[in-house]
Structure 1
């Protein structure tokens, strides 16, 4: 991983008797795209708000380049909240200029940046319209422009792809890749796990306020149990159930997904499959991020 830039170090947060975060710990390197996923209420938004200083942690620390995050640091962070954080009656360009100026840009620089981002995100024809009159997808584009307009050194985005059409998803994906290529660390949460899998260098899965999985997507998909996908057109539905060390996970017509216990020889299983007749497929099965996520969140709440 690239040298850590944004560090969340043993951050905890409680609301009365409810533990929202329990020693949340992870870091994001320069130029890294980090996907932050979990069920509703798992603690993603709370973590992001603490990283931005919107909420105070009960314990732990957030650091930027080795130093605790302070007011000046926050001015260099681009934040996109899940809920709309825009002034509904302000016009698009006027609002982006205002927000850029709040982050320290000159009036001329703010206008130039606002014009560039509205052009890039397909909002140029909507510059003089009130935000409340835009479609939800275009409001989401304005929200992203607001996070980018001051040329931030780090991006923290809460559900940035929510409500976007496929074209807008492609545009936003390209923007995030470009920012990472320029060395900007990007952290975003999403329930669209196919996008997370496609875009991210690393992913963190949280459950009940704790980080339970954290690693490169490719490594997470190749690790874990030994699973195989078989296509056996002439095999009976129960052909694998009596094989030692084999667990049948699913059957879909002639396609079988099985899991081998440690030490089970895959060639022995293949030989058994051949005895059923034609073998159209016998291949290792790499779980998708969606499957990994489902397994993690259904394992139960940690003590």
Structure 2
């Protein structure tokens, strides 16, 4: 695949305190790459370095092999919104298109198309401050893609959106990737990341924790867990083989299984006397992996290999 963005051994400190430590990753054309991490992990600093808002102390950032940011090829949806509140929607979007040297006639046509697509038809003459939070978010998203960027950074793109609007934006992101746009997406909604992204880069305390395809992350980290609803005494299950740990809350017992467990065989070990109202077996979710790392629970020691 063709690499659009390459981040190479990035280091950044503030007042002598390291914020980024040897950060390296790539974003390919036509893929959706997630950059994840708890608050304060270094995601925003990484994005700001990519966008040239600040500069690294060490390391290099290149776009198709060039150090200079190709601003007319880059779209950016920041987490902190930046639209002028007293400006009309059409005027705001046309101004931003002009900054990208995008043909204004084509921009106007695309604005009207997107407003209709996202349920904002007739809002082109409304001022930004008249819009709801969700409407404003959709206008900001339109601003980031209006000039047909080849590389798109989306920082919390689903903030403030209702479920229907989220689906519209998700489909647009997929369509952009399908036409070759390289997309770097930052979100705290792990279910969305798991649903949409091809690869992920998980950062914690300024350092790489995971850098791999989503499929490989699941193979490395997402062990099986058995969830049982019913009245179960801990002593009836704590001696079961291939169980790493057990969590109980109210009438729910969750048993986290070892990496190479054979599920069909393991189920035969469940004691006959336990009360089972519901039973399910699935893999640990990306959300649980994220929480584990963010809270330093160290539950994933077996899966330390997904860093290729």
Q: Taking structure 1 as the reference length, what is the TM-score of the superposition?
A: 0.88
Give the structure 2 partner of residue 227 of structure 1.
Answer: 224
The answer to whether the 8 A contact 1:270-1:282 is kept is no
> Which residue, out of 84, 105, 110, partners 1:108?
105
Aligned-pair CA distance for 1:264: 7.1
Give the structure 2 partner of residue 151 of structure 1.
Answer: 148
1:98-247 matches, cutoff 5 A: 98-224=95-221, 226-229=223-226, 231=228, 236-243=233-240, 245-247=242-244
The answer to whether the 8 A contact 1:78-1:147 is kept is yes
Find the aligned partners of 1:260 and 1:102 in 2 and give their Cα distance. 54
- Aligned to 1:61, the other structure's residue is in SS state strand
> Which residue, out of 285, 297, 302, partners 2:282?
285
Give the structure 2 partner of residue 28 of structure 1.
Answer: 27
Find the aligned partners of 1:265 and 1:144 in 2 and give their Cα distance. 45
Could you say if the C-alpha distance between residues 299 and 106 of structure 1 is closer, same or farther in structure 2, counting changes exceeding 3 Å? same
Could you say if the C-alpha distance between residues 113 and 234 of structure 1 is closer, same or farther in structure 2, counting changes exceeding 3 Å? closer
Could you say if the C-alpha distance between residues 43 and 235 of structure 1 is closer, same or farther in structure 2, counting changes exceeding 3 Å? closer
Aligned-pair CA distance for 1:66: 2.2
Total equivalences in the alignment: 298
Aligned-pair CA distance for 1:48: 1.1
Could you say if the C-alpha distance between residues 281 and 224 of structure 1 is closer, same or farther in structure 2, counting changes exceeding 3 Å? farther
- Aligned to 2:23, the other structure's residue is in SS state strand
Matched, 1:44 2:57: no
- Aligned to 2:270, the other structure's residue is in SS state helix
Give the structure 2 partner of residue 54 of structure 1.
Answer: 53
Stretch moving more, 25-34 or 103-112: 103-112
- Aligned to 2:175, the other structure's residue is in SS state helix
Could you say if the C-alpha distance between residues 279 and 171 of structure 1 is closer, same or farther in structure 2, counting changes exceeding 3 Å? same
1:116-150 deviation per Cα after TM superposition (whole angstroms, max 9, x unaligned)? 22222222221101112211111111111110111
Matched, 1:6 2:5: yes
Aligned-pair CA distance for 1:282: 7.2
Could you say if the C-alpha distance between residues 126 and 6 of structure 1 is closer, same or farther in structure 2, counting changes exceeding 3 Å? same
The answer to whether the 8 A contact 2:236-2:271 is kept is no
Find the aligned partners of 2:264 and 2:109 in 1 and give their Cα distance. 64
> Which residue, out of 71, 75, 83, partners 2:80?
83
Structure 2 spans left out of the alignment, 5+ residues: 299-308
Aligned-pair CA distance for 1:176: 0.0
Find the aligned partners of 2:158 and 2:98 in 1 and give their Cα distance. 26
Find the aligned partners of 2:77 and 2:268 in 1 and give their Cα distance. 54
Could you say if the C-alpha distance between residues 233 and 40 of structure 1 is closer, same or farther in structure 2, counting changes exceeding 3 Å? closer
- Aligned to 2:247, the other structure's residue is in SS state strand
Find the aligned partners of 1:58 and 1:65 in 2 and give their Cα distance. 21
- Aligned to 1:118, the other structure's residue is in SS state helix
Could you say if the C-alpha distance between residues 276 and 136 of structure 1 is closer, same or farther in structure 2, counting changes exceeding 3 Å? same
Give the structure 2 partner of residue 295 of structure 1.
Answer: 292
Aligned-pair CA distance for 1:280: 7.7
Find the aligned partners of 1:159 and 1:267 in 2 and give their Cα distance. 40
Structure 1 spans left out of the alignment, 5+ residues: none
Stretch moving more, 198-207 or 225-234: 225-234
Aligned-pair CA distance for 1:24: 1.2
Could you say if the C-alpha distance between residues 239 and 247 of structure 1 is closer, same or farther in structure 2, counting changes exceeding 3 Å? farther
- Tell me how large the CA RMSD over aligned residues is: 2.6
